[in-house]
Structure 1
Amino acid sequence: MANHSQLNFQDAASPIMEELMGFHDHALMIALAICSLVLYLLTHTLTEKLTSNTVNAQVIELVWTILPALVLVTLALPSLRILYMMDEINEPDLTLKAIGHQWYWTYEYTDTKDLTFDSYMVQTADLPLGHFRLLEVDHRVVVPMNSTIRVIVTADDVLHSWAVPSLGVKTDAIPGRLNQTSFLASRPGVFYGQCSEICGANHSFMPIVVESTPLANFENWHSLMSS
Protein backbone atom coordinates (compact mmCIF):
# COMPACT_ATOMS: atom_id res chain seq x y z
CA MET A 1 0.00 0.00 0.00
CA ALA A 2 1.03 3.65 -0.24
CA ASN A 3 3.27 5.29 2.37
CA HIS A 4 3.65 8.87 3.52
CA SER A 5 5.76 11.02 1.13
CA GLN A 6 5.91 8.14 -1.37
CA LEU A 7 7.02 9.24 -4.85
CA ASN A 8 7.01 5.91 -6.66
CA PHE A 9 4.37 3.27 -7.37
CA GLN A 10 3.15 0.80 -4.77
CA ASP A 11 4.91 -2.56 -4.74
CA ALA A 12 3.72 -4.69 -7.65
CA ALA A 13 1.62 -7.75 -6.82
CA SER A 14 0.78 -8.89 -10.35
CA PRO A 15 2.67 -9.45 -13.63
CA ILE A 16 0.77 -6.59 -15.30
CA MET A 17 1.81 -4.11 -12.61
CA GLU A 18 5.42 -5.25 -12.93
CA GLU A 19 5.22 -4.55 -16.68
CA LEU A 20 3.69 -1.11 -16.04
CA MET A 21 6.45 -0.20 -13.58
CA GLY A 22 9.09 -1.31 -16.08
CA PHE A 23 7.49 0.83 -18.80
CA HIS A 24 7.36 3.78 -16.40
CA ASP A 25 11.12 3.48 -15.79
CA HIS A 26 11.73 3.11 -19.54
CA ALA A 27 9.73 6.27 -20.35
CA LEU A 28 11.37 8.16 -17.48
CA MET A 29 14.87 7.40 -18.79
CA ILE A 30 13.92 8.68 -22.26
CA ALA A 31 12.43 11.85 -20.74
CA LEU A 32 15.58 12.34 -18.65
CA ALA A 33 17.80 12.02 -21.73
CA ILE A 34 15.68 14.57 -23.64
CA CYS A 35 15.70 17.03 -20.73
CA SER A 36 19.47 16.65 -20.35
CA LEU A 37 19.98 17.38 -24.06
CA VAL A 38 17.73 20.45 -23.95
CA LEU A 39 19.47 21.73 -20.79
CA TYR A 40 22.89 21.26 -22.42
CA LEU A 41 21.82 23.17 -25.54
CA LEU A 42 20.34 26.00 -23.46
CA THR A 43 23.49 26.27 -21.36
CA HIS A 44 25.68 26.18 -24.45
CA THR A 45 23.59 28.90 -26.10
CA LEU A 46 23.76 31.18 -23.07
CA THR A 47 27.49 30.75 -22.41
CA GLU A 48 28.95 30.61 -25.91
CA LYS A 49 29.05 33.29 -28.57
CA LEU A 50 27.34 31.74 -31.57
CA THR A 51 27.50 32.99 -35.11
CA SER A 52 26.18 31.06 -38.07
CA ASN A 53 25.81 31.83 -41.74
CA THR A 54 24.14 28.52 -42.56
CA VAL A 55 21.35 28.91 -45.09
CA ASN A 56 20.61 25.29 -45.93
CA ALA A 57 21.20 22.38 -43.49
CA GLN A 58 19.34 19.39 -44.83
CA VAL A 59 21.24 16.88 -42.68
CA ILE A 60 20.32 18.66 -39.45
CA GLU A 61 16.68 18.94 -40.54
CA LEU A 62 16.66 15.24 -41.39
CA VAL A 63 18.11 14.33 -37.99
CA TRP A 64 15.65 16.40 -35.95
CA THR A 65 12.78 14.93 -37.95
CA ILE A 66 13.81 11.27 -37.70
CA LEU A 67 15.09 11.34 -34.10
CA PRO A 68 11.76 12.39 -32.47
CA ALA A 69 9.97 9.78 -34.59
CA LEU A 70 12.33 7.07 -33.29
CA VAL A 71 11.78 8.25 -29.72
CA LEU A 72 8.00 7.97 -30.18
CA VAL A 73 8.38 4.47 -31.63
CA THR A 74 10.47 3.34 -28.64
CA LEU A 75 7.65 4.58 -26.40
CA ALA A 76 4.74 3.28 -28.47
CA LEU A 77 5.86 -0.32 -29.03
CA PRO A 78 6.21 -1.41 -25.37
CA SER A 79 3.12 0.63 -24.49
CA LEU A 80 0.98 -1.18 -27.07
CA ARG A 81 2.35 -4.56 -25.96
CA ILE A 82 1.27 -3.92 -22.36
CA LEU A 83 -2.08 -2.52 -23.52
CA TYR A 84 -2.90 -5.72 -25.40
CA MET A 85 -1.70 -7.82 -22.46
CA MET A 86 -4.12 -5.98 -20.16
CA ASP A 87 -7.06 -6.62 -22.51
CA GLU A 88 -6.30 -10.32 -22.95
CA ILE A 89 -8.38 -12.64 -20.77
CA ASN A 90 -7.74 -16.33 -21.46
CA GLU A 91 -9.73 -18.99 -19.58
CA PRO A 92 -10.05 -17.30 -16.16
CA ASP A 93 -9.92 -19.53 -13.08
CA LEU A 94 -12.49 -17.41 -11.26
CA THR A 95 -15.03 -14.76 -12.26
CA LEU A 96 -15.95 -11.99 -9.87
CA LYS A 97 -18.62 -9.34 -10.43
CA ALA A 98 -18.16 -5.91 -8.78
CA ILE A 99 -21.16 -3.57 -8.66
CA GLY A 100 -20.66 0.03 -7.56
CA HIS A 101 -23.27 1.84 -5.47
CA GLN A 102 -23.37 5.14 -3.62
CA TRP A 103 -21.25 4.45 -1.58
CA TYR A 104 -20.29 0.80 -1.28
CA TRP A 105 -19.48 -2.22 -3.45
CA THR A 106 -21.42 -5.43 -4.02
CA TYR A 107 -19.48 -8.55 -5.03
CA GLU A 108 -20.81 -11.72 -6.65
CA TYR A 109 -18.94 -15.03 -7.00
CA THR A 110 -20.93 -17.01 -9.54
CA ASP A 111 -18.61 -19.76 -10.79
CA THR A 112 -19.56 -22.26 -8.10
CA LYS A 113 -22.24 -21.85 -5.46
CA ASP A 114 -23.57 -18.30 -5.69
CA LEU A 115 -21.98 -15.99 -3.13
CA THR A 116 -23.02 -12.34 -2.89
CA PHE A 117 -22.13 -9.76 -0.26
CA ASP A 118 -21.85 -6.00 0.23
CA SER A 119 -18.57 -4.35 1.21
CA TYR A 120 -18.75 -1.17 3.30
CA MET A 121 -15.95 0.94 4.73
CA VAL A 122 -15.33 0.37 8.44
CA GLN A 123 -16.02 3.59 10.33
CA THR A 124 -13.11 5.09 12.28
CA ALA A 125 -14.88 4.55 15.61
CA ASP A 126 -15.22 0.82 14.87
CA LEU A 127 -11.71 0.31 13.52
CA PRO A 128 -9.55 -2.28 15.34
CA LEU A 129 -6.17 -1.12 16.59
CA GLY A 130 -3.51 -1.23 13.87
CA HIS A 131 -5.92 -1.20 10.93
CA PHE A 132 -5.91 1.51 8.28
CA ARG A 133 -8.35 4.42 8.53
CA LEU A 134 -10.61 4.97 5.48
CA LEU A 135 -9.23 1.81 3.82
CA GLU A 136 -10.60 -1.16 5.77
CA VAL A 137 -13.90 -2.80 4.81
CA ASP A 138 -16.24 -5.17 6.64
CA HIS A 139 -16.01 -7.83 3.89
CA ARG A 140 -12.87 -8.23 1.79
CA VAL A 141 -12.65 -9.67 -1.71
CA VAL A 142 -10.75 -12.93 -1.24
CA VAL A 143 -9.10 -14.56 -4.27
CA PRO A 144 -6.69 -17.48 -4.75
CA MET A 145 -3.14 -16.44 -5.55
CA ASN A 146 -1.50 -17.43 -8.84
CA SER A 147 -4.93 -17.72 -10.46
CA THR A 148 -6.36 -15.64 -13.30
CA ILE A 149 -9.27 -13.63 -11.93
CA ARG A 150 -11.76 -12.03 -14.31
CA VAL A 151 -13.59 -9.04 -12.83
CA ILE A 152 -16.84 -7.87 -14.41
CA VAL A 153 -17.50 -4.29 -13.34
CA THR A 154 -20.72 -2.31 -13.49
CA ALA A 155 -22.66 0.25 -11.44
CA ASP A 156 -26.15 0.56 -10.06
CA ASP A 157 -26.55 4.35 -9.98
CA VAL A 158 -23.73 6.66 -11.13
CA LEU A 159 -20.22 6.26 -12.55
CA HIS A 160 -17.69 4.53 -10.31
CA SER A 161 -14.26 3.02 -10.95
CA TRP A 162 -12.86 -0.21 -9.48
CA ALA A 163 -9.13 0.32 -8.95
CA VAL A 164 -6.39 -1.57 -7.07
CA PRO A 165 -2.97 -0.01 -7.85
CA SER A 166 -0.80 -2.90 -6.60
CA LEU A 167 -2.57 -5.25 -9.01
CA GLY A 168 -2.44 -2.83 -11.96
CA VAL A 169 -6.23 -2.76 -12.23
CA LYS A 170 -8.54 0.20 -12.92
CA THR A 171 -11.88 -0.29 -14.69
CA ASP A 172 -14.81 2.12 -14.96
CA ALA A 173 -18.14 1.02 -13.52
CA ILE A 174 -20.90 2.37 -15.78
CA PRO A 175 -24.64 1.85 -15.17
CA GLY A 176 -26.16 -0.42 -17.84
CA ARG A 177 -22.77 -1.54 -19.15
CA LEU A 178 -20.50 -4.47 -18.26
CA ASN A 179 -16.76 -3.80 -18.41
CA GLN A 180 -14.23 -6.50 -17.68
CA THR A 181 -10.63 -6.73 -16.61
CA SER A 182 -8.39 -9.41 -15.15
CA PHE A 183 -5.48 -9.82 -12.79
CA LEU A 184 -3.27 -12.50 -11.30
CA ALA A 185 -2.06 -11.97 -7.74
CA SER A 186 1.48 -13.32 -7.73
CA ARG A 187 1.94 -13.26 -3.95
CA PRO A 188 -0.22 -13.51 -0.84
CA GLY A 189 -1.22 -10.27 0.82
CA VAL A 190 -3.86 -7.61 1.31
CA PHE A 191 -4.10 -4.95 -1.40
CA TYR A 192 -5.99 -1.70 -1.04
CA GLY A 193 -7.75 0.43 -3.63
CA GLN A 194 -10.44 3.07 -3.83
CA CYS A 195 -13.18 4.23 -6.15
CA SER A 196 -11.34 6.33 -8.74
CA GLU A 197 -14.28 8.18 -10.29
CA ILE A 198 -15.93 11.07 -8.43
CA CYS A 199 -19.35 9.66 -7.59
CA GLY A 200 -20.87 11.98 -5.03
CA ALA A 201 -20.50 13.28 -1.49
CA ASN A 202 -19.00 10.08 -0.04
CA HIS A 203 -16.82 9.18 -3.01
CA SER A 204 -13.75 9.03 -0.74
CA PHE A 205 -15.38 6.50 1.55
CA MET A 206 -15.89 3.40 -0.61
CA PRO A 207 -12.54 1.57 -0.46
CA ILE A 208 -11.66 -1.73 -2.13
CA VAL A 209 -9.74 -4.47 -0.33
CA VAL A 210 -8.48 -7.58 -2.14
CA GLU A 211 -6.94 -10.40 -0.12
CA SER A 212 -4.83 -12.96 -1.97
CA THR A 213 -4.47 -16.34 -0.25
CA PRO A 214 -3.42 -19.90 -1.11
CA LEU A 215 -6.12 -21.95 -2.83
CA ALA A 216 -6.89 -24.07 0.25
CA ASN A 217 -7.51 -20.97 2.37
CA PHE A 218 -9.73 -19.51 -0.35
CA GLU A 219 -11.82 -22.68 -0.51
CA ASN A 220 -12.28 -22.62 3.28
CA TRP A 221 -13.31 -18.96 3.18
CA HIS A 222 -15.73 -19.58 0.31
CA SER A 223 -17.36 -22.49 2.14
CA LEU A 224 -17.69 -20.42 5.30
CA MET A 225 -19.23 -17.44 3.48
CA SER A 226 -21.62 -19.64 1.49
CA SER A 227 -22.96 -21.45 4.55
Structure 2
Amino acid sequence: MWFQNANSPIMEYLLFFHDVTFLLILIIAIAVFFFFELIFMPTDPHRFLIDNQSIEFIWTLTPCIVLLMLAIPSLQLLYLTDEAHGVLKSFKAIGHQWYWSYEWGQELIFDAYMTSIPYRLLDVDNRIKAEMAIPMSVYVSSTDVLHCWTIPVLGVKVDAVPGRLNQIFFSLNRPGIFFGQCSEICGSNHSFMPISLESMV
Protein backbone atom coordinates (compact mmCIF):
# COMPACT_ATOMS: atom_id res chain seq x y z
CA MET A 1 0.00 0.00 0.00
CA TRP A 2 1.24 3.46 -0.99
CA PHE A 3 4.63 2.44 -2.33
CA GLN A 4 6.46 4.76 -4.68
CA ASN A 5 6.21 3.90 -8.38
CA ALA A 6 8.76 1.22 -9.24
CA ASN A 7 11.68 2.27 -11.43
CA SER A 8 13.49 -1.04 -11.81
CA PRO A 9 12.55 -4.63 -12.71
CA ILE A 10 13.52 -5.79 -9.20
CA MET A 11 11.17 -3.28 -7.54
CA GLU A 12 8.35 -4.33 -9.89
CA TYR A 13 8.82 -7.95 -8.78
CA LEU A 14 8.93 -6.86 -5.13
CA LEU A 15 5.66 -4.93 -5.48
CA PHE A 16 3.99 -7.87 -7.26
CA PHE A 17 5.12 -10.26 -4.51
CA HIS A 18 3.87 -7.82 -1.87
CA ASP A 19 0.44 -7.58 -3.55
CA VAL A 20 0.08 -11.37 -3.82
CA THR A 21 1.13 -11.85 -0.19
CA PHE A 22 -1.24 -9.12 0.97
CA LEU A 23 -4.12 -10.81 -0.91
CA LEU A 24 -3.34 -14.17 0.70
CA ILE A 25 -3.20 -12.60 4.15
CA LEU A 26 -6.56 -10.93 3.50
CA ILE A 27 -8.16 -14.24 2.46
CA ILE A 28 -6.74 -15.98 5.54
CA ALA A 29 -7.98 -13.19 7.84
CA ILE A 30 -11.51 -13.37 6.36
CA ALA A 31 -11.54 -17.18 6.73
CA VAL A 32 -10.37 -16.98 10.36
CA PHE A 33 -13.06 -14.43 11.25
CA PHE A 34 -15.68 -16.56 9.47
CA PHE A 35 -14.78 -19.67 11.47
CA PHE A 36 -14.54 -17.57 14.62
CA GLU A 37 -18.14 -16.47 14.04
CA LEU A 38 -19.20 -20.13 13.64
CA ILE A 39 -17.90 -20.94 17.11
CA PHE A 40 -20.38 -18.51 18.70
CA MET A 41 -23.39 -19.64 16.66
CA PRO A 42 -26.15 -21.09 18.86
CA THR A 43 -26.74 -24.09 16.54
CA ASP A 44 -23.32 -25.55 17.43
CA PRO A 45 -22.23 -26.50 13.87
CA HIS A 46 -18.71 -27.43 14.99
CA ARG A 47 -19.93 -30.59 16.75
CA PHE A 48 -19.32 -32.44 13.44
CA LEU A 49 -15.64 -31.44 13.49
CA ILE A 50 -14.76 -33.51 16.55
CA ASP A 51 -12.58 -36.52 15.61
CA ASN A 52 -13.03 -35.82 11.91
CA GLN A 53 -9.75 -37.02 10.37
CA SER A 54 -10.44 -35.63 6.89
CA ILE A 55 -10.98 -32.07 8.13
CA GLU A 56 -7.92 -32.23 10.39
CA PHE A 57 -5.85 -33.37 7.41
CA ILE A 58 -7.20 -30.50 5.27
CA TRP A 59 -6.54 -27.80 7.85
CA THR A 60 -3.00 -29.13 8.34
CA LEU A 61 -2.25 -29.43 4.62
CA THR A 62 -3.73 -26.04 3.59
CA PRO A 63 -1.27 -23.87 5.61
CA CYS A 64 1.62 -25.97 4.26
CA ILE A 65 0.50 -25.27 0.68
CA VAL A 66 0.05 -21.55 1.42
CA LEU A 67 3.54 -21.32 2.96
CA LEU A 68 5.00 -23.15 -0.04
CA MET A 69 3.22 -20.71 -2.37
CA LEU A 70 4.94 -17.85 -0.50
CA ALA A 71 8.35 -19.48 -0.02
CA ILE A 72 9.09 -20.38 -3.65
CA PRO A 73 8.61 -16.89 -5.20
CA SER A 74 10.26 -15.32 -2.14
CA LEU A 75 13.43 -17.40 -2.63
CA GLN A 76 13.38 -16.72 -6.39
CA LEU A 77 13.19 -12.99 -5.70
CA LEU A 78 15.97 -13.22 -3.12
CA TYR A 79 18.33 -14.87 -5.60
CA LEU A 80 17.22 -12.50 -8.38
CA THR A 81 18.32 -9.48 -6.33
CA ASP A 82 21.75 -11.03 -5.75
CA GLU A 83 22.54 -12.02 -9.34
CA ALA A 84 24.37 -9.83 -11.83
CA HIS A 85 22.64 -9.64 -15.22
CA GLY A 86 25.09 -8.33 -17.83
CA VAL A 87 26.45 -5.46 -15.73
CA LEU A 88 27.92 -2.76 -17.98
CA LYS A 89 28.81 -0.05 -15.45
CA SER A 90 29.64 0.06 -11.78
CA PHE A 91 30.50 2.60 -9.12
CA LYS A 92 31.41 2.66 -5.46
CA ALA A 93 29.43 4.37 -2.66
CA ILE A 94 31.25 5.03 0.62
CA GLY A 95 29.40 6.12 3.75
CA HIS A 96 30.86 8.73 6.11
CA GLN A 97 29.48 10.54 9.13
CA TRP A 98 27.38 12.14 7.61
CA TYR A 99 27.63 12.20 3.83
CA TRP A 100 28.26 9.85 0.91
CA SER A 101 31.23 9.80 -1.42
CA TYR A 102 31.26 8.12 -4.83
CA GLU A 103 33.94 6.68 -7.08
CA TRP A 104 33.51 6.06 -10.81
CA GLY A 105 36.75 4.27 -11.67
CA GLN A 106 39.90 6.25 -10.91
CA GLU A 107 39.00 9.44 -12.75
CA LEU A 108 35.80 10.62 -11.05
CA ILE A 109 35.62 10.81 -7.25
CA PHE A 110 33.20 13.20 -5.54
CA ASP A 111 31.40 13.81 -2.25
CA ALA A 112 27.63 14.32 -1.99
CA TYR A 113 26.52 16.63 0.82
CA MET A 114 22.92 17.47 1.60
CA THR A 115 21.57 20.71 0.18
CA SER A 116 18.38 22.52 1.15
CA ILE A 117 17.25 23.34 -2.38
CA PRO A 118 15.11 22.35 -4.19
CA TYR A 119 14.10 19.29 -2.10
CA ARG A 120 14.56 19.67 1.65
CA LEU A 121 16.42 16.76 3.33
CA LEU A 122 16.43 14.76 0.07
CA ASP A 123 18.72 16.46 -2.43
CA VAL A 124 22.51 16.65 -2.57
CA ASP A 125 24.96 19.01 -4.24
CA ASN A 126 26.46 16.25 -6.46
CA ARG A 127 23.93 13.76 -7.80
CA ILE A 128 24.83 10.32 -9.11
CA LYS A 129 24.32 10.35 -12.89
CA ALA A 130 23.20 7.02 -14.36
CA GLU A 131 21.99 6.01 -17.79
CA MET A 132 18.57 4.46 -18.26
CA ALA A 133 18.20 0.75 -19.16
CA ILE A 134 21.87 -0.06 -18.48
CA PRO A 135 22.50 -2.76 -15.84
CA MET A 136 24.66 -1.30 -13.08
CA SER A 137 26.30 -2.55 -9.92
CA VAL A 138 27.05 -0.58 -6.76
CA TYR A 139 29.84 -1.50 -4.35
CA VAL A 140 29.01 -0.13 -0.92
CA SER A 141 31.30 0.32 2.07
CA SER A 142 31.86 2.65 5.02
CA THR A 143 34.79 4.43 6.64
CA ASP A 144 33.46 4.75 10.18
CA VAL A 145 30.16 3.19 11.36
CA LEU A 146 27.33 1.18 9.81
CA HIS A 147 25.35 3.01 7.13
CA CYS A 148 22.80 1.75 4.61
CA TRP A 149 22.59 2.87 0.96
CA THR A 150 18.90 2.86 0.01
CA ILE A 151 16.83 4.03 -2.95
CA PRO A 152 13.23 2.74 -2.50
CA VAL A 153 12.02 3.18 -6.12
CA LEU A 154 14.82 0.87 -7.29
CA GLY A 155 14.26 -1.75 -4.61
CA VAL A 156 17.87 -1.21 -3.54
CA LYS A 157 18.97 -1.44 0.09
CA VAL A 158 22.48 -2.52 1.01
CA ASP A 159 24.45 -2.18 4.24
CA ALA A 160 27.64 -0.12 4.27
CA VAL A 161 29.92 -1.97 6.68
CA PRO A 162 33.42 -0.75 7.59
CA GLY A 163 36.07 -3.02 6.11
CA ARG A 164 33.59 -4.89 3.92
CA LEU A 165 32.50 -4.36 0.31
CA ASN A 166 28.85 -5.23 -0.38
CA GLN A 167 27.42 -5.30 -3.88
CA ILE A 168 23.95 -4.81 -5.35
CA PHE A 169 22.58 -4.53 -8.88
CA PHE A 170 19.92 -2.36 -10.51
CA SER A 171 18.65 -1.10 -13.83
CA LEU A 172 16.60 2.06 -14.40
CA ASN A 173 13.29 1.89 -16.30
CA ARG A 174 12.66 5.60 -16.84
CA PRO A 175 14.41 8.97 -16.61
CA GLY A 176 14.02 11.23 -13.61
CA ILE A 177 15.51 12.14 -10.23
CA PHE A 178 15.15 9.53 -7.50
CA PHE A 179 15.88 9.96 -3.83
CA GLY A 180 16.98 7.73 -1.00
CA GLN A 181 18.43 8.04 2.46
CA CYS A 182 20.68 6.23 4.88
CA SER A 183 18.52 3.51 6.43
CA GLU A 184 20.80 2.61 9.31
CA ILE A 185 20.84 4.77 12.44
CA CYS A 186 24.43 5.97 12.25
CA GLY A 187 24.59 8.88 14.67
CA SER A 188 23.18 12.29 15.44
CA ASN A 189 23.07 13.46 11.80
CA HIS A 190 21.74 10.17 10.41
CA SER A 191 18.78 11.90 8.75
CA PHE A 192 21.02 14.41 6.98
CA MET A 193 22.84 12.12 4.52
CA PRO A 194 20.44 11.68 1.59
CA ILE A 195 21.09 9.91 -1.72
CA SER A 196 20.10 11.45 -5.04
CA LEU A 197 20.29 9.62 -8.35
CA GLU A 198 19.56 11.21 -11.70
CA SER A 199 18.51 8.87 -14.50
CA MET A 200 19.30 10.07 -18.03
CA VAL A 201 18.27 8.83 -21.47
Name the TM-score class by shorter chain: over 0.9
Q: Secondary structure at the match of 2:114?
A: coil
For the residues of structure 2 that align with 1:189 and 1:55, how far apart are their CA atoms? 61
Q: Cα RMSD between the aligned structures?
A: 1.3
Q: 1:52 to 1:136 in 2, by over 3 A?
A: same
Distance 1:55 1:35, change over 3 A: closer
Opposite residue 132 of structure 2, the aligned amino acid is: M
Q: Which residue matches 2:130? A: 143
Identity among equivalent pairs (%): 49
Q: Which runs of 5+ in 1 are unaligned?
A: 1-6, 215-227
CA distance in 2, matches of 1:135, 1:81: 32
Q: Select which of 114, 121, 144 maps to 2:114.
A: 121
Segment of structure 1 superposing worse, 85-94 or 19-28: 85-94
Alignment equivalent of 1:167, drawn from 154, 164, 180: 154
1:31 equivalent to 2:25? Answer yes
**Structure 2: gaps (5+ residues):** none
Equivalent residue for 1:13, pick from 7, 10, 14: 7
Q: What CA distance in whole angstroms lies between the structure 1 residues aligned with 2:192 and 2:112?
A: 11
Distance 1:195 1:54, change over 3 A: closer
Find the aligned partners of 1:54 and 1:189 in 2 and give their Cα distance.
59
1:99-154: CA deviation from partner (whole Å, max 9, x where unpaired): 000000000001xx6200000001x3xx2xxx211001000011010001100000
TM-score, structure 2 length as denominator?
0.96
**Contact 2:49-2:55 within 8 A present in 1 as well:** no
Structure-2 residue corresponding to 1:94? 89
Select between 157-166 and 83-92 the one with higher mean Cα deviation: 83-92
Using the size of structure 1 for normalisation, the TM-score is 0.85
Q: Helix, strand or coil: the match of 2:40?
A: helix
Matches within 5 A, 1:37-116: 37-50=31-44, 52=47, 55-110=50-105, 114-116=107-109
User: Does 1:181 find its partner at 2:176?
Assistant: no
Partner Cα separation in structure 2 for residue 105 and residue 60 of structure 1 = 58
1:55 is displaced (CA, Å) by 4.8
